[in-house]
Amino acid sequence: MSNLLRMRADLIIIGGGTGGCAAALAALKTGKTVIMTEETDWIGGQLTSQAVPPDEHPWIEEFGCTRSYRTFRESVRDYYKRCFPLAESVDRDRPFNPGRANVSAIAHEPRAALAVLRDTLAPYIHSGKLEILYGFRIQRADASEDTVRTLTVVRPETGEEIELEAPYYLDATEEGDVLPVAGVDYVTGAESAADTGEPHALQGDADPGDMQAFTYVFAMDHVEGENHTISKPAQYEFWKSYKADFWPDNQLSWAGLVPHTLEPVRYCLFPDGKSFSLWNYRRVIDKEQFAEGTFVSDITLVNWPANDYWLGSIIDVSPEERTKHLENAKQLSLSLLYWMQTEAPRPDGGRGYPGLRLRGDVVGTRDGLAKSPYIRESRRIRAEFTVVEQHLSPEFQAGPAAMDYFDSVGVGCYRIDLHPSTALRTYIDVSSLPFQIPLGSLLPAKMNNLLPAAKNIGTTHITNGCYRLHPVEWNIGEAAGYLAAFCLERGVKPREVRQRPELLAAYQAVLADAGVQMKWPAVHAV
């Protein structure tokens, strides 16, 4: 241990995902020094290493996000306008959507988001204010009396360890990995309706292992007349025949459910004028928007019902169990691709689309799958204040927006959207009102100097379903970064900021100056 490398900064951020990057940027803007770790070699989380185009609300172009998130969005558009020859038909006066996807007004390649995030943080890296430790994950903590003194991270491939010390620490990991290591009280899975009073919570006892499906996303294009069929995946026969009791057909099929009605629905791959096109769903490159010859095909990201993995959780299980489920999820995604290439029914009566080509370059991997699985549900802190369904539901709130929190540190908007779960329960998809992010949900009930900065805040299994999306995670991280900086400058603890009106007003003024929207205008439920 005498040779253990030690590093110190004003703020340590474990996890370089969407929230981690936003938190780092916020703290750096105040002049603080930051060390951020990232398990992969790509920062950005769900925007990049998990390969999920931004899921956003209907008003995102006008309001409903922070200024820095809007800057990120516009920088993505500028990246394509600067670096790519656009088609003459593209209207330069309209917001550019590289993929023209159904799901997003700014569907773009993960590597484009990565380029923008790297450029955004470059001045701080070059000046020495920010250091990013790639390939490291949390190993252990020195914590007692509700205070973290040091965190030690490890690079699993080499065993190299680094001890990190700072006045404040943020857990911006995708699964809330710092919480158990540092002894922070947290919850997982589905709470009981008897405990939360939520209409859609679990009837009976809580189930900590009941968590939303996770997904290994992959990118593909289609080259007509060519054969890009992959080798048959080892688990293909299992996935070809697998059918969950709540699903209308085999998982490898064009069948699915309408999430909010649970009615069966049939999808199609390419648009046919009759069914919902999965090709357009999360398309990140629409080749028609670029000069002829720039792209040989559209590029789409496959994050579909058919590759949601719900046969087991990867959180708070043995290493062997975790490895098994991660591998199974990869096999499911590869099996979906193989099925589409070889056996999927086509409108012309044929079978398979061998021209579908796995695009590992788009996601930065050799196996073609995203660097990390898309994690919808994390460990969640036991917080000073927990957001419950009643705060967001139009059945409980009469106004055009959700409950008005006195300690708001931002806003978000999305339906309460839960994918099938590891308890083999089907979708929960219900309306919600545009909501605020309460500071109390960022404050652990006991820990003094560790804050959540991602999907690990004080929500429930139900409300996590709408607080987990890109602009909300960014806002959470940004608020946490500014909070840590504010507490350092004022010499106060985070919970004091919420408890003392003058401190709360001063902190909210900092957020307002930074372009963080904290209230909604009169809009409507989604």
Q: Encode pLDDT of 349-397 as tens digits.
A: 999 999 999 999 999 999 999 999 999 999 999 999 999 999 999 999 9
Query: Can you give the pLDDT at residue 92?
Result: 82
Q: Residue 322: helix, strand or coil by DSSP?
A: helix
Could you say which residues of the chain have pLDDT below 50?
Answer: 1
CB 296 within 8 A of CB 221: yes
Radius of gyration of the chain (CA): 22
Cα 130 to Cα 29: distance, rounded to the nearest angstrom: 11
Task: For the full predicted model, state whether its pTM sits above 0.75.
Answer: yes
396: tokens are 């409980």
pLDDT tens digits for range 91-149? 887 899 999 999 999 999 999 999 999 999 999 999 999 999 999 999 999 999 999 99
Spatial separation of the C-alpha atoms in residues 392 and 459, rounded to whole Å: 12
pLDDT at 395: 95
* Sign of the dihedral through C-alpha 341, 364, 313, 231: positive
**What does the DSSP assignment read for 168-202?**
EEEE--SS-THHHHHT--EE-SBPBHHHH--TTSB
Q: What is the pLDDT of residue 496?
A: 98
pLDDT of residue 1: 46
∠404-71-292 over CA atoms, to 5°? 130
Q: In whole angstroms, give the CA distance from residue 81 to residue 290.
A: 10
Note the pLDDT of residue 2.
53
Q: Measured between alpha carbons, how far is 116 from 101 in angstroms, rounded to an integer?
A: 20
The first and second tokens of residue 238, run together, are 């299992």
- State pLDDT tens for residues 72-86: 999 999 999 999 999
